[in-house]
């Protein structure tokens, strides 16, 4: 049975807009930009192999997606990055993603962080930083 982090599903129910953190301890805890890149690449590899959500990754520029996700997680973790992508609403417009789709990607992210040896405390911190985006992504 899959363990829930912080409980991940409950954290992802929030829909407020987050502000990047003031310190970089999470950024450092994720392995800085190189570690975040490995986490994002692992997440995307998991997602394209995940029969629940793989179809959402067809016909997209996966390299651009990787780069924008790295930027976004870097910013959310308090790193020295700038997010240059579209808003979450614009990026997901017309995709009609469900809670199940969103949760599947979160599970893929958790698996990627586990594979990179990211401590559960740091995983929970990142999930809490990303949780407010849920409302900007699903059912758009």
pLDDT of 54 reads 95
Task: Single out the residue of 38, 21, 18 nearest to residue 30, CA to CA.
Answer: 38
- Residue 17 falls within a domain, yes or no? yes
Burial 95-110 (b: 16+ CB within 10 A, else e): eebeeebbbbbbbbbb
- Residue 31 falls within a domain, yes or no? yes
- Residue 33 falls within a domain, yes or no? yes
Lowest model confidence (mean pLDDT) among 12-26, 71-85, 111-125: 12-26
- The CATH number for 126's domain is 1.10.490.10
- Residue 3 falls within a domain, yes or no? no
Per the structure, how many domains does the chain have? 1
Read off the pLDDT of residues 40-70 as tens digits, 9 standing for 90 and up: 999 999 999 999 999 999 988 999 999 999 9
């Amino acid at each position: 049975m899959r363990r829930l982090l912080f409980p991940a599903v409950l954290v992802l129910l929030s829909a407020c807009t987050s502000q990047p953190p003031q310190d970089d301890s999470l950024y450092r805890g994720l392995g800085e930009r190189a570690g975040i890149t490995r986490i994002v690449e692992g997440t995307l590899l998991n997602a394209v192999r995940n029969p629940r959500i793989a179809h959402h990754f067809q016909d997209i520029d996966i390299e651009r997606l990787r780069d924008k996700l790295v930027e976004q997680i870097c910013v959310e973790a308090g790193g020295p990055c700038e997010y240059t992508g579209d808003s979450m609403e614009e990026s997901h417009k017309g995709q009609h993603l469900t809670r199940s789709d969103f949760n599947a990607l979160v599970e893929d992210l958790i698996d990627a962080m586990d594979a990179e040896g990211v401590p559960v405390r740091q995983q929970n911190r990142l999930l809490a930083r990303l949780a407010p985006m849920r409302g900007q992504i699903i059912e758009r």
